[in-house]
């Protein structure tokens, strides 16, 4: 659909626009008039819009500047430049959140309706001055995000997961489900993915723990990264993936592609929602099953949430060692319970003992990640899954983060400690040709 038609949709709520003009933006009518003319002259389509399209950007800048000068209004150069920038953001960017997307210190953007935009910066939530014109304006930006990747959002399908060109993850939900207006949540990811040294500098992990994890990935251990929402699981999964040798064939499976692997032999798979008729949906489970026919050396599932967990465990137990995934849980033990529950969601009527046997033999390591009260993110446990003993899966912590209270700036104090128990998988790694230096544990 052309941008011109989308703009017509935005202009339908005149009453709301007049209110915003009076209360927020004295140049709203001018900007909308110029925007209409720019779009009319260029007849832009969503698929042509990109911040990398320098030729289009220059054309838009020229036309905007021409029309601003034609208005001959009594404006300062600062005001003219501000209008120019806002119009360019509106046409080729994502409106009032464009600047927030460019700010490298902003890690999350939360649009709670048109007049309330929060961000997460340095681990803290804060309200911004940015605002949309009205609900139609927010809808316009949502459709601008989802259209290039073939997703849709409307009353019949009022929720959508998508991604931005830079890999940032987007969730949008609209009325009637979102009572106070369309809502957008954007989890930003660095265009240059974080490396393990970055996590060490952030204090997320220490150097000895990072060395251990590197050997575990190289030695084809099956690893689950566990944590709550916003704890940094995907970032850690991306760092773990960077330890996979370049010679291996990797298949990644995600709802919205976020992983940024540097290896040369990577096949990226992404789920697909149902169409207007409710048909054509491709789930994580479908892709996990299909990936087994693609001769993978590694299978990386962005997150397990449901019945695909059974297929993932079976893959781990049938020769696809070295697989990686993430899951929502508050502790390593809680992660095991979540895995059992998700296996039951597959529809297979399996006894709990059989499920625990599958989990205990498939998973080698659980990495627990948490977002602490000061906003910092820490890997709080590296825990080995040692198998079954009776009806219970035995867990053994290898490294832990021990909190020591708060400092004078209300920052969490603590240290990473080795528990004193040597992991039993050392022999398994040695069989893979990976020898762990003993000084890691002392």
**Domain spans in the chain, listed from the N-terminal domain onward:** 1-92, 94-190, 196-441
pLDDT of 45 reads 57
Kindly report the pTM of this predicted structure: 0.78
Q: Would you state the pLDDT for residue 25?
A: 64
Residues for the chain: how many in total? 442
Handedness of CA 132, 136, 142, 146 (dihedral sign): negative
- Look at residue 14 in the predicted model and tell me its pLDDT: 38
- One fold for 94-190 and 196-441: no
Backbone angles phi, psi at 278, to 5 degrees: 80, 15
> Which option is the CATH number for 196-441: 3.40.50.880, 3.30.70.660, 3.40.50.300, 3.90.700.10?
3.40.50.300
Q: In terms of DSSP H, where are the helices of 189-298? A: 196-202, 207-218, 233-241, 284-291
Question: Which CATH number is correct for 94-190, 3.30.420.40, 2.30.29.30, 3.30.450.90, 1.20.1050.10?
Answer: 3.30.450.90
The backbone torsions φ and ψ at residue 304, rounded to the nearest 5 degrees and listed phi first, read -95, 135
Give every residue of the chain whose pLDDT is below 50, as ranges.
7, 12-23
Q: Are 75 and 26 in contact (CB under 8 A)?
A: no
Give me the phi and psi of 34, to 5 degrees please.
Answer: -65, -40
CA–CA separation, 27 and 30 (whole Å):
5
């Amino acid at each position: 659909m052309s941008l011109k038609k989308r703009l017509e949709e935005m202009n339908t709520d005149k009453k709301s626009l007049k209110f915003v003009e009076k209360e927020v933006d004295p140049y709203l009518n001018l900007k909308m008039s110029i925007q209409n003319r720019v779009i009319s002259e260029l007849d832009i389509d969503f698929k042509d819009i990109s911040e990398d399209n320098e030729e289009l950007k220059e054309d838009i800048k020229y036309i905007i500047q021409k029309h601003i000068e034609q208005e001959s209004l009594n404006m300062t150069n600062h005001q003219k430049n501000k209008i120019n920038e806002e119009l360019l953001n509106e046409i080729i960017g994502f409106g009032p959140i464009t600047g927030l997307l460019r700010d490298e210190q902003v890690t999350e953007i939360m649009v709670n309706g048109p007049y309330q935009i929060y961000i997460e910066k340095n681990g803290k939530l804060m309200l911004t001055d940015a605002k949309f014109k009205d609900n139609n304006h927010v809808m316009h930006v949502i459709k601008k995000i989802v259209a290039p990747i073939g997703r849709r959002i409307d009353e019949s399908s009022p929720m959508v997961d998508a991604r931005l060109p830079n890999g940032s993850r987007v969730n949008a939900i609209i009325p009637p489900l979102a009572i106070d207006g369309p809502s957008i949540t954007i989890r930003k990811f660095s265009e240059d993915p974080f490396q393990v040294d970055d996590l060490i500098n952030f204090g997320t992990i220490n150097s000895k723990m990072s060395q251990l994890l590197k050997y575990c990935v190289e030695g084809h251990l099956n690893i689950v990264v566990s944590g709550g929402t916003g704890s940094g699981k995907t970032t850690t999964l991306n760092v773990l993936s960077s330890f996979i040798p370049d010679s291996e064939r990797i298949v990644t499976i995600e709802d919205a592609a976020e992983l940024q692997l540097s290896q040369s032999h990577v096949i990226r798979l992404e789920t697909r929602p149902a169409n207007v008729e409710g048909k054509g949906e491709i789930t994580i489970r479908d892709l996990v099953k299909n990936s087994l026919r693609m001769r993978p050396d590694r299978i990386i599932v962005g997150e397990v949430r449901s019945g695909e967990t059974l297929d993932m465990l079976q893959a781990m137990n049938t020769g696809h060692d070295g697989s990686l995934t993430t899951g929502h849980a508050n502790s390593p033990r809680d992660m095991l319970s979540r895995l059992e529950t998700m296996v039951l969601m597959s529809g297979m009527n399996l006894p709990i003992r059989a499920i625990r046997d599958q989990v205990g033999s498939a998973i080698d390591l659980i990495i627990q990640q948490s977002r602490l009260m000061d906003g910092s993110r820490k890997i709080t446990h590296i825990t080995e899954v040692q198998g079954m003993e009776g009806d219970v899966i035995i867990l053994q912590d290898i490294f832990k983060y021990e909190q020591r209270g708060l400092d004078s700036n209300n920052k969490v104090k603590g240290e990473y400690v080795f528990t004193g128990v040597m992991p039993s998988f050392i022999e398994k790694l040695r069989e893979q040709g990976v020898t762990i230096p003993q000084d890691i544990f002392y």
